Structure 1
Amino acid sequence: MRSSSFALATLALTLGQSLLGVDAAALDTRASGQQLTVNATPSKKSQFGVDLFIETNINSGTDGGLYAELINNRAFQVPAGAPTGNNALGQGTLASWSKVGASTSLDLTLQNPLSHALPKSVAVTSSAKNEACGLTNSGYGGFSVKPQKYDLSFYARSVDGKPTTVKVKAGLYSADRSRTWTEQTLTLQLTSEWKQFKASMTPTASAPDTNNVFSIKTAAGCGSGMQLNLVSLFPPTWKGTVARADLAQALADTKPVLVRVPGGNDLEGNSISAWFNWTNAVGDVKNRPGRIGTWIGWNTEGFGLLEMMDMIEKMGAQAVLGIYAGYSLDKKAVPKDQLGPYIESALNQLHFLLDTSGKWADLRASYGRAAPYKLEHVEIGNEDWIYNAPDSWPYRYPPFRDAIAKAFPQLELIASSPYSFQGQQAIDQHDYNTPSWFIDAYDKMDSWPRNGTKIYELEYAVINSGLTNDADIYSGKSRLQHPTLIAALAEATFLLGAERNGDLCHGAAYAPIFMNEVPGLTQWTPDLISFDAGRSVKSISYYVQQAFGMHRIDNIHDVKASTPPKQAGLFHSVGSDAAGSRITVKLVNTKSSAQSASVRLSGGGGKKVSAAGAQQWQLSGSNAQASNTMGQPNTVVPKSGALPAGALQNDGSLQMTLPPYSFTIVTLPLA
């Protein structure tokens, strides 16, 4: 798609005589381009809001990303090679670990396990008495070092079980060892029993890059050796959670209504044994075995059930809790007569989160959370009707739905299925496609039946530019690495259509959210937020999602267009807040040239638009294929502020620019 130079567009917002006492017909003679007539009386209530979908594991987005733990493979669980169906414990490696000292040996052992959940540990020994001895971790692509407190903890015992004293230094260092950023000396009194050691350290300066490592080492020799496990290092986290501060804040800034957790494919796992079992994702991390990653490595489940719920609560949102429905990605389903334990686990999980008294409430309180959570939405399964629909989905879904509905009738139950599967309380449809598909889907929901089935779009994204007409948009040459400007505008157009149908569509969430830019740690592109060990970058699509969160409407106003939006390439949604104190106009120009429009509010009301407090938000650029990347993080960013002086005329018209490739939101107070 060719870019074009910036041109001026005029948007004349003309409010009818009933609101401003102005002759609307006279003002119509000045209208040019697209003419939009907005009914001043709302046609229906809107339930639409932007949501989040935290798909665990993919792109190292939780372990190595949102979960703030800095040590990679902290309990020696990461397996060799790509993830498989092998979910057996104790199969981990020394991935991300290396020795300190030429004579040092790092030997993984299953002897004297720290816990049943973490059976494998490392024995650190050395044959040299006067040589440094220890081990080094390379993190998830290094370590970001800042003048802030880092909390260290690890478990240690003597290798031979005999009492011994080992003095170690633990700290953050440049990879070439030329700089010590921070270091603490610990005297380890080791015995046959595992003991936890803790320390904190605060660098006095920031490192210039992430080419840094973490080490535990002695000055000379290891004596009889030390056995280590669950080595952990945390920076300051977001609002007392376990979440990485910049990534969690970026999520919170989208003002989500709902957050879907845990992740889709990772909920299922690559085999039935690797499903998300909530009982393994609560309590002391020493007792969480984790499971093989669906996309990469090993899930520590450190970002577990309560950690997810706590973060969501502090964002002011609610969870959409994913429930495993007996189907995994190897296309195998739990037989019908064996579903009972999985249904019981789902019910117990809900009791654990919602009960106010009893054994499940007591268990929750023992983990530090006395009050029940506010939870109103449960999603059963994840796309697990796709491959096995003819035989397993029809027998699996109803028993989960019916059992949960009976025990928790207050919950909204969402089926992970397309809208064509009618008759459900709610469904979660997923759409990945090209910009043209999403633009064409602007009116997709207009004709869908209002029969009581609610719809959520908790996975959507433009994943392919469409420039080469790939037969397979997932593996073709035009698969996107990062969201482009035209992709983001196409998504905005799609969201306008969903918002205009906010009585039917109750929410939408871009997927996936996170992309770890460290080589080898990402499996899916494009994504909403890119990051490495020290930085994070918001994509253009992020700003579109955020804009809908910042400018949510409560009432939908019908609009009549003089030219069909698809023909004009100019798309709209108009709404107002519950109190009727403001009206919000959203417009997307998908064309490479500027466009003019006239928007007129007709019908009763009696209120007048006030220039005081009128706001404008705008995202635009001249290159449709532009992206925000780690190297160029601010290629396209929004601008917002008060309307320019004189933009709102005395006759009620609004003069503003609609540039090429732009998304514009105008919020007008009504007095």
Structure 2
Amino acid sequence: MSRRSTRLVLTFAALTALTVAPLPVAAQAAPAYTLDIDPAAAGPDLPRSMYGVFFEDINHAADGGLYGELVRNRSFEFDPADNSSFTGLTAWTVSPNGGTARVLDDAGRLNERNRRYLKLDVTGGSFGVTNGGYNAGFAIERGKQYDFSVWARGDSAAPLTANLTDAAGAVLARPVMVTAQAGQWVKYTGTFTAREPSTTGRLTVTAGASVSLDMVSLFPRDTYKNRPNGLRRDLAEKIAALEPGFVRFPGGCLVNTGSHEAYEAPDWERRRSYQWKDTIGPVEERATNANFWGYNQSYGLGYFEYFQFAEDIGAMALPVVPALVTGCGQNQATDDPELLRRHVQDTLDLIEFANGPADSPWGARRAQMGHPEPFGLTHLGVGNEENLPDEFFARFTEFREAINERYPEITVISNSGPDDAGATFDRAWELNRAADVDMVDEHYYNSPQWFLENNNRYDTYDRQGSKVFLGEYASQDNRFANSLAEAAFMTGLERNADVVRLASYAPLLADRDNNQWRPDMIWFTNSASWGSTSYETQKLFMTNVGDRVVPSEASTTPIVNGPITGAVGLSTWATSARYDDVTVTAADGTGLFADDFSAGAGKWTNISGRGNWTVDGGSYLQSDVAAENTMVTAGDPRWQNYDLTVKATKEAGAEGFLVGFGVRGSGDYYWWNLGGWANTRSAVEKATGGGKQTLLENGTRIEQGRTYDIRVEVRNRHVTLFLDGQKWGEFTDDKVAEPFRQVVTRDAATGELIVKVVNAQASPAPTRIDLGGTRIAPQGRLTTLTGAPDAVNTETTTPIQPFESTVDNLSSTFDHTFPPHSITFLRLRPQ
């Protein structure tokens, strides 16, 4: 995932870019579209694993989410090194009197991986601590059982009492009482049966004598498949209901970020990259690690649990291991050959853990955890979104060669970086093709406009070359307009199933009250969960894939793109920069605008509401080095065919300049992003309704303190860009956002044709469907998703839900009108 995409929001304004003018009323009775289907022909086969899910611990998707544990910071491992707000008592409160509480890291620890523990020095009566869980607290259901456990060691025999209450102190269950003995660490357990429900549950552990505590846990008995150390049932069931063909895990950006220190370090190192061996075995012996997304992860949900969950829902497990080259906006490659050899060996050990016999070294570890039979691993990814394609591929090659030598049956998946195009993408694909890599993982998060424009993206891919795993994609928000665009794009994925063999929307889960990313498929609180409009869209496609594509052809919508129009803009991203001598000149030489800021900045409007813009020393300065997207704009939104010139100087901060053109609003513009992505590359980006796509890119970086001359020439829909008098690049933005898309597949089990049609416009789409003389049953089955393009599913209202119905009087040629803003699956049964 590219971190920049986290800040993109689609607004209702995007609708104007997704619609065409409504048909005249008189014309709507006659077919506006044609759809010709050839049931006698056969297109590409569709694998059972075509669509899957991608799980990354982002948005608190694991701890506090899918992982069933209710206690946060159960082993007191939180530390300011991971997050400046953390302490060993994060999420805990200490009794106001009766003793002292100390988080210790010394030889008395529970084990080498669980280093810190809590010492309660009781000075009188009883003394203890209370855990509030995640966000509001624990969700407790009346009549349900909750398993309590704690590792404890008394200075002498120490009575312990565990109480389950709500935030106001009301008792929710009979207390659990044990006595911690002196000497060794011992695990003590008990069970609460809830007498009352609450969404603000608290766990309090008090001691009657001095005692050491670690791994304080509260787990619902009612987990998915009733497994100990299991998964939150409602979230797991929603994932299972998708019937995914695979589960990609554990990321994502957290796979290959962090340090890559030696595995057998003399001391536990913080901020390690995600390493699978850290996540297996008894949970009290697993580490807590810093998470790329700004919080901690306990690894209670580890590789064994991932494999087990994939098996439980009938999906293929698809793990991803670090390649020792950072990605996700970071640009570092580890050159330690011994460290690389160790990681390669760890990956071979992972395959043995998954597939080895129970008497093999790592197969025995799997068997000890309760699964003597192999998991049947077939695919494995190496790396994620690396920005250094040559460095990545050199290391990927060593992984691939070692895996192919010992496990030739495993498909080793490479990747193409963080974007859908650009220098990194092109170079990565060049390397992958030259090496005849089996499968390449592509990632992109783009605007709805991009998805509507790129249905044919894979039409020209080499049919004999590397296959595509679309491991992460989404349109940039959770409104139904986004889902319509994604659905239109997915018809192209299925049509090209001989190239695109795996695809997964991302991310999967998000805590409503604590998240780092939008959009997401499934949202949750501590007590509720709901599917977004994209969840309903993905579910419709995933549960109606079919087995083979049936060739079909549809007419298109007559759309003509007008010229690029809009005002001009200046912006920054986590950078202080100054601008001067802004001019806009019409193509015929007529002056439209000029500002040297000698008279102030009265011509400019801050449409972002961010940044600290002032006139300073005769130029326009944005001085806030933390603010992101500080867009100010000037001029006429009706401008077209003009030249924009400006002088720009970076003063301080992480990036460079953002020079806008074709600006029509805060979410609709083009900008030349010079020195973006932490000053690692530059690109032209187009925003439509707040969602962005990259149109042109190269590796230009910006020097601090140097003044650059920038010129942008806009002609119709062609743009040429000059930096310091030299041509930097050019592009023509002439793709059409086609709102009417279709694909047809065959369900071998039922013999039915599944006609999948997306109508992403405000007008109904009367369509003549011609099956070339093939006779069908007179009645078909319809499943439809339809609603307002700005509709959003929430905890309390889900306007986008599937509607099932039937359609009658069908024949080999028939007319059907697809509703505005709709996704329709029509099942036809040939006779």
TM-score range normalised by the length of the shorter chain: 0.7 to 0.9
- Which of 593, 598, 601 is the aligned partner of 2:771? 601
Task: Show the counterpart of 2:458.
Answer: 445
Asked whether the 8 Å contact 2:778–2:810 carries over to 1, the reply is no
Q: How much does 1:416 deviate? A: 1.8
Task: Show the counterpart of 2:381.
Answer: 379
Asked whether the 8 Å contact 1:275–1:328 carries over to 2, the reply is no
2:234 maps to a residue whose letter is D
Residues 1:529 and 2:522 aligned together: yes
Q: Find the aligned partners of 2:829 and 2:177 in 1 and give their Cα distance.
A: 62
Deviations 1:190-212 (A, max 9, x none): 202111110111112322xx222
Q: Find the aligned partners of 2:748 and 2:62 in 1 and give their Cα distance.
A: 37
- Of structures 1 and 2, the one scoring higher in RCO (CA 8 A, sep 6+) is 1
Asked whether the 8 Å contact 2:260–2:273 carries over to 1, the reply is yes
> Any residues of structure 2 matched to 1:293-372 within 5 Å, and which?
293-329=291-327, 330-335=330-335, 337-338=337-338, 339-356=340-357, 357-372=359-374
Q: How much does 1:133 deviate? A: 2.0
Q: How much does 1:502 deviate? A: 1.0
2:768 maps to a residue whose letter is S
Secondary structure of 1:286 counterpart: helix
Deviations 1:6-50 (A, max 9, x none): x999xxxxxxxxxxxxxxxxxxxx961100111112233223721
1:212 maps to a residue whose letter is G
1:267 maps to a residue whose letter is V
Asked whether the 8 Å contact 2:158–2:211 carries over to 1, the reply is no
Task: Show the counterpart of 1:73.
Answer: 73
1:99 maps to a residue whose letter is V
- Which of 188, 191, 194 is the aligned partner of 1:200? 191
Q: Which runs of 5+ in 1 are unaligned?
A: 10-29, 85-90, 464-479
Q: Find the aligned partners of 2:518 and 2:738 in 1 and give their Cα distance.
A: 31
Task: Show the counterpart of 1:150.
Answer: 146
Task: Show the counterpart of 1:475.
Answer: none
Secondary structure of 1:59 counterpart: coil
Q: Find the aligned partners of 1:128 and 1:191 in 2 and give their Cα distance.
A: 19
Task: Show the counterpart of 2:740.
Answer: 570
Q: How much does 1:409 deviate? A: 0.6
Secondary structure of 1:596 counterpart: strand
Q: How much does 1:406 deviate? A: 1.2
Q: Find the aligned partners of 2:762 and 2:182 in 1 and give their Cα distance.
A: 72
Task: Show the counterpart of 1:253.
Answer: 241
2:802 maps to a residue whose letter is P
Q: How much does 1:568 deviate? A: 5.9
Q: Aligned in 2, Cα 1:251/1:668: closer, same or farther, shift over 3 Å? A: same
> Any residues of structure 2 matched to 1:210-289 within 5 Å, and which?
210-217=199-206, 222-223=208-209, 225-235=210-220, 236-241=222-227, 242-273=230-261, 274-289=272-287
Secondary structure of 1:493 counterpart: helix
Q: How much does 1:152 deviate? A: 0.9
Residues 1:172 and 2:174 aligned together: no
Q: How much does 1:626 deviate? A: 2.0
Q: Find the aligned partners of 1:192 and 1:487 in 2 and give their Cα distance.
A: 60
Q: Find the aligned partners of 1:445 and 1:295 in 2 and give their Cα distance.
A: 32
Q: How much does 1:609 deviate? A: 2.6
Asked whether the 8 Å contact 1:83–1:293 carries over to 2, the reply is no
Secondary structure of 1:265 counterpart: coil
Residues 1:138 and 2:132 aligned together: yes
Asked whether the 8 Å contact 1:609–1:652 carries over to 2, the reply is no
- Which of 790, 797, 802 is the aligned partner of 1:625? 790
Secondary structure of 2:147 counterpart: strand
Q: Aligned in 2, Cα 1:530/1:107: closer, same or farther, shift over 3 Å? A: same
Q: Aligned in 2, Cα 1:263/1:567: closer, same or farther, shift over 3 Å? A: closer
Q: Aligned in 2, Cα 1:82/1:620: closer, same or farther, shift over 3 Å? A: farther
Q: How much does 1:659 deviate? A: 1.9
Q: Find the aligned partners of 1:180 and 1:149 in 2 and give their Cα distance.
A: 15
> Any residues of structure 2 matched to 1:406-555 within 5 Å, and which?
406-417=405-416, 420=426, 421=429, 422=433, 423-463=436-476, 480=477, 483-518=478-513, 521-555=514-548
Q: Find the aligned partners of 2:784 and 2:776 in 1 and give their Cα distance.
A: 24
Q: How much does 1:167 deviate? A: 4.3
Q: Find the aligned partners of 1:304 and 1:114 in 2 and give their Cα distance.
A: 20
Task: Show the counterpart of 2:572.
Answer: none
Task: Show the counterpart of 1:115.
Answer: 111
> Any residues of structure 2 matched to 1:578-597 within 5 Å, and which?
578=748, 581-597=751-767
Task: Show the counterpart of 1:54.
Answer: 55
Q: Find the aligned partners of 1:149 and 1:245 in 2 and give their Cα distance.
A: 14
Asked whether the 8 Å contact 2:176–2:192 carries over to 1, the reply is no
Q: Find the aligned partners of 1:78 and 1:374 in 2 and give their Cα distance.
A: 36
Asked whether the 8 Å contact 1:272–1:328 carries over to 2, the reply is no
Q: Which moved more, 1:523-532 or 1:562-571?
A: 562-571
Task: Show the counterpart of 1:663.
Answer: 823
Task: Show the counterpart of 1:16.
Answer: none
Q: How much does 1:137 deviate? A: 0.3
Q: How much does 1:271 deviate? A: 2.3
Deviations 1:85-108 (A, max 9, x none): xxxxxx961100001343442211
1:100 maps to a residue whose letter is S
Secondary structure of 1:211 counterpart: strand
2:205 maps to a residue whose letter is I
Q: Find the aligned partners of 1:531 and 1:654 in 2 and give their Cα distance.
A: 43
Secondary structure of 1:487 counterpart: helix
Task: Show the counterpart of 1:20.
Answer: none
Task: Show the counterpart of 1:39.
Answer: 38
Q: Aligned in 2, Cα 1:586/1:271: closer, same or farther, shift over 3 Å? A: same
Secondary structure of 1:252 counterpart: helix
Q: How much does 1:610 deviate? A: 5.2
Asked whether the 8 Å contact 1:514–1:528 carries over to 2, the reply is yes
Q: Which moved more, 1:532-541 or 1:263-272?
A: 263-272
Q: Aligned in 2, Cα 1:567/1:38: closer, same or farther, shift over 3 Å? A: farther
Q: Which moved more, 1:434-443 or 1:564-573?
A: 564-573
Q: Aligned in 2, Cα 1:568/1:532: closer, same or farther, shift over 3 Å? A: closer
Asked whether the 8 Å contact 2:176–2:191 carries over to 1, the reply is no
Q: Find the aligned partners of 2:83 and 2:508 in 1 and give their Cα distance.
A: 21
- Which of 765, 780, 800 is the aligned partner of 1:636? 800
Q: Find the aligned partners of 2:326 and 2:213 in 1 and give their Cα distance.
A: 34
Q: Find the aligned partners of 2:797 and 2:109 in 1 and give their Cα distance.
A: 45
Asked whether the 8 Å contact 1:429–1:455 carries over to 2, the reply is yes
Q: Find the aligned partners of 2:496 and 2:181 in 1 and give their Cα distance.
A: 65
Q: How much does 1:650 deviate? A: 5.6
Question: Size of the alignment, in residue pairs?
Answer: 598
Asked whether the 8 Å contact 1:151–1:198 carries over to 2, the reply is yes
Q: Aligned in 2, Cα 1:374/1:493: closer, same or farther, shift over 3 Å? A: same
Asked whether the 8 Å contact 1:79–1:298 carries over to 2, the reply is no
Q: How much does 1:530 deviate? A: 1.1
Alignment TM-score, normalising by the size of structure 2: 0.69
1:371 maps to a residue whose letter is E
Asked whether the 8 Å contact 1:153–1:233 carries over to 2, the reply is yes
Q: How much does 1:176 deviate? A: 1.4
Asked whether the 8 Å contact 1:281–1:290 carries over to 2, the reply is no
Normalized per residue, the structure richer in strand is 2
1:258 maps to a residue whose letter is F
Q: Find the aligned partners of 2:315 and 2:105 in 1 and give their Cα distance.
A: 42
Alignment TM-score, normalising by the size of structure 1: 0.85
Q: How much does 1:266 deviate? A: 1.2
